[in-house]
Structure 1
């Protein structure tokens, strides 16, 4: 039996202290919060029967990645590349590791002077010494010199995010192709495709009712994705809908659905950047309602006042706007190193109160803020369950590393919402008339899905 895992355990033990209630086990293995399995088959660390996550080091390169980039990015590169695995449920493993750090059970420390010779010797024997490994090719490479949130850079980000193709997203998402949080009547419901579809239908119904849509109502959906809201609003509420997106793949998918559903007279989708919407208003006319579902996170702080003004400017006086948007604490505005490197760079998730201020400054009155954070947990876990159930097909469509990236993204995302490190909110707004009238009902009860017949407009 090899000894690589024991050497790794000793090396990790030099840099990490683990304590519980002040107790510090004397042996190196006992101090580790995980069980290690190395490339030579050896194991060390937490006892096998402790329930601790099992980290599998498939290659020495995993250690070199962690040495060059300690923390989230080193682990992400190692996992996506296949150099490192977590045995069992990845979400549970991430939760256990995050809990140890959050509770102060794991704290970094500098090696003591007398430990340095052993550290260097272990590093040499373990193959840690060497150049920094290149990140997996799935990491985003953006155009050089492209200004942050310029049209060129935004198009490159969108292209990267959707380059797996519509077939990959059709594999993971529900039949609506809704790539946003659903609304679950039962947050503990089974994570089946039928339950996910019901949760997305409930969310789409609620959005349409909040916007007051009915036969003949006009809706502009900014960043319309694969058309879940435009098609739902037209099919079930009789609305006339215009969607805009900068993703060609999404536009083409929506047009196919429009033809299949016989909705060509009620839904139109244009390949238009949100910043160009004002130049189209003369053609479009003003709208009774405007929506933006989980797109505002991607416009950036410097562009958000423009984004808010565009929503306001597209509305008729008395018209309503609904923004569903992810939020985060003031100290963590981005999506995190992993998301910004592999999934969607340039994200800005601010506290919801700051977003309300920006929307109000654009001349929109805030009428309702609906916190939906807990609803994203089963939504993402349903996507993850579908990914796992169709793993071979996902690998065929996105490649092994691409599928592993999505597994890590979804497992980590569900945990972030569950532990309140990220949130999502529906913000209902109105453009008041010149005399200050809103035309809004006085209670939120008319918006909630419970007790409502699907596709029924609110009073």
Structure 2
């Protein structure tokens, strides 16, 4: 049981405690240590260290999640314990106390401002951290989307090479093992192979990889399965990286890379209805709500009859907000997540038949935690590369992301659909057996790809 104790006297902690309680709707679930050394709050709760008056000034100018995040990014606020443990304990305490944020009125805000004035925290608005995105233009216009993608994915190839494993897959892995010899790169290879199997890719098949990232699926499909891949990314850094890896591995005859908007795919040679498969791995979150029906129509139009589409995409709980102010300001501006069922409905509305849905939520907890371990283990290298504020942005992002998946506020799913032919035939295997057999061997030792059951009338090189 928590014991609420205060440092004797009338320090900053004692003065600010009533204001915090008023704005939280109850006692704070953390212990506060202020810049003057005064403390208040449960003595066995995580300790939030408010290092300067500037932290309060930030919250006056930017109340709520974004103000708190920016105070952490700039180092004005810190958590003395492990950040993940601290945030988890704070959320648990908030649930147990039943805290519900009230809507403070003008009088409440004036009292808070008066307290801040007495503490010397009133002043001009603190500068916004440089890592914050500053987008302009119409929402989801091509120019704004390019700027949004560049903000996140063009941070630098060196940064992502440091953060990710050798596959350079920046998406949820598929963890088929838990031993010391099985790691993040193995989980990513298992994920890539699982996608290839769900799409039924064989030598000579044509794959359109929309939002190819640093080419993990493109390179795996071409290098392991002999698939002809058209890779599309809006990020210049990614396109340059994929082209270099294609040349390095001698895959120029199988892979072509396009640095363009997904809406320009229709202008690529041999576009209409010619692909055996299309993949989009954690790219649909950037499409936007109003634009998503056109996006699903594109997936349908690129496929030949019986061609398959695989969408791996993050979702939000039915009552969860999705990204939130911090994510949308610093990580993925203009990102839109919807509940899984809505995405399935949009795919069906485009004429695709949804054949399989697989939740990977717990897999993302493991994936993000692996990235976070790398960040902490190589912290000084990240700071030297991008600066401490950006490194703290990523620490907050990864810790918060893992908790969101852990607590089911966010999910991620693989959705497999098919474009049926004129007679309604889907051409998909009768069972899922061939998808999963031997995945761990694929990750660790090159493995073996089991064949799907043959389908009558199937032409060589097509999706089975």
TM-score under structure 1 normalisation? Answer: 0.89
Shift of 1:314: 1.0
What is aligned with 1:101? 94
Instruction: Assess, with a 3 A threshold, how the Cα gap between structure 1 residues 12 and 402 changes in structure 2: closer, same or farther.
Output: same
Q: Measure, in 2, the Cα distance between the counterparts of 1:117 and 1:325.
A: 44
Structure 2 counterparts to residues 264-275 of structure 1, below 5 A = 264-275=252-263
What is aligned with 1:38? 34
Instruction: Assess, with a 3 A threshold, how the Cα gap between structure 1 residues 118 and 268 changes in structure 2: closer, same or farther.
Output: closer
> Structure 1 unaligned runs (5+)?
19-30
Shift of 1:135: 2.3
Worse overlay, 52-61 or 222-231: 52-61
Structure 2 counterparts to residues 384-403 of structure 1, below 5 A = 384-403=372-391
Q: Measure, in 1, the Cα distance between the counterparts of 2:106 and 2:63.
A: 21
What is aligned with 2:434? 446
Q: Measure, in 2, the Cα distance between the counterparts of 1:313 and 1:110.
A: 48
Tell me if structure 2 keeps the 8 A contact 1:142–1:157.
yes
Matched, 1:5 2:48: no
> Structure 2 unaligned runs (5+)?
1-6, 443-447, 453-464
Q: Measure, in 1, the Cα distance between the counterparts of 2:249 and 2:239.
A: 15
Q: Measure, in 1, the Cα distance between the counterparts of 2:246 and 2:105.
A: 67
Q: What SS class does the counterpart of residue 443 from structure 1 fall into?
A: coil
The aligned length equals 439
Structure 2 counterparts to residues 172-183 of structure 1, below 5 A = 172-183=163-174
Instruction: Assess, with a 3 A threshold, how the Cα gap between structure 1 residues 177 and 449 changes in structure 2: closer, same or farther.
Output: farther
Tell me if structure 2 keeps the 8 A contact 1:202–1:449.
no
Instruction: Assess, with a 3 A threshold, how the Cα gap between structure 1 residues 4 and 228 changes in structure 2: closer, same or farther.
Output: same
What is aligned with 1:379? 367
Worse overlay, 90-99 or 197-206: 90-99
What is aligned with 2:408? 420
What is aligned with 2:352? 364
Q: What SS class does the counterpart of residue 387 from structure 2 fall into?
A: helix
Instruction: Assess, with a 3 A threshold, how the Cα gap between structure 1 residues 449 and 154 changes in structure 2: closer, same or farther.
Output: farther
Matched, 1:142 2:140: no
Cα displacement string for residues 6-46 of structure 1 (whole angstroms, at most 9, x for unaligned residues): 3333442454454xxxxxxxxxxxx4421222223333322
Shift of 1:242: 1.1
Instruction: Assess, with a 3 A threshold, how the Cα gap between structure 1 residues 118 and 368 changes in structure 2: closer, same or farther.
Output: closer
Q: 1:303 aligns with which of 291, 295, 302?
A: 291
Matched, 1:288 2:284: no
Instruction: Assess, with a 3 A threshold, how the Cα gap between structure 1 residues 458 and 291 changes in structure 2: closer, same or farther.
Output: farther
Matched, 1:328 2:316: yes
Q: 2:159 aligns with which of 138, 146, 168?
A: 168
Q: What SS class does the counterpart of residue 85 from structure 1 fall into?
A: strand
Shift of 1:334: 4.1
Tell me if structure 1 keeps the 8 A contact 2:365–2:405.
yes
Q: What SS class does the counterpart of residue 147 from structure 2 fall into?
A: helix
Tell me if structure 1 keeps the 8 A contact 2:285–2:336.
yes
What is aligned with 1:25? none
Q: What SS class does the counterpart of residue 381 from structure 1 fall into?
A: helix
Q: Measure, in 2, the Cα distance between the counterparts of 1:141 and 1:451.
A: 42
Shift of 1:130: 2.7
Instruction: Assess, with a 3 A threshold, how the Cα gap between structure 1 residues 113 and 216 changes in structure 2: closer, same or farther.
Output: closer
Q: 1:232 aligns with which of 196, 204, 220?
A: 220
Q: Measure, in 2, the Cα distance between the counterparts of 1:60 and 1:426.
A: 46
Cα displacement string for residues 80-118 of structure 1 (whole angstroms, at most 9, x for unaligned residues): 111111112111111112222333443456899999998
What is aligned with 2:335? 347
Q: 2:51 aligns with which of 36, 54, 58?
A: 58
Q: What SS class does the counterpart of residue 199 from structure 1 fall into?
A: helix
Q: Measure, in 1, the Cα distance between the counterparts of 2:318 and 2:46.
A: 31
Q: What SS class does the counterpart of residue 316 from structure 1 fall into?
A: strand
Cα displacement string for residues 371-404 of structure 1 (whole angstroms, at most 9, x for unaligned residues): 1111100100100100111111111221111000
What is aligned with 1:77? 70
Cα RMSD (Å): 2.5
What is aligned with 2:202? 214
Q: What SS class does the counterpart of residue 270 from structure 2 fall into?
A: helix
Shift of 1:256: 1.3
Q: Measure, in 1, the Cα distance between the counterparts of 2:200 and 2:433.
A: 13
Q: What SS class does the counterpart of residue 416 from structure 2 fall into?
A: strand
Q: Measure, in 2, the Cα distance between the counterparts of 1:120 and 1:251.
A: 50
TM-score under structure 2 normalisation? Answer: 0.88
Instruction: Assess, with a 3 A threshold, how the Cα gap between structure 1 residues 156 and 56 changes in structure 2: closer, same or farther.
Output: same
Instruction: Assess, with a 3 A threshold, how the Cα gap between structure 1 residues 287 and 67 changes in structure 2: closer, same or farther.
Output: same
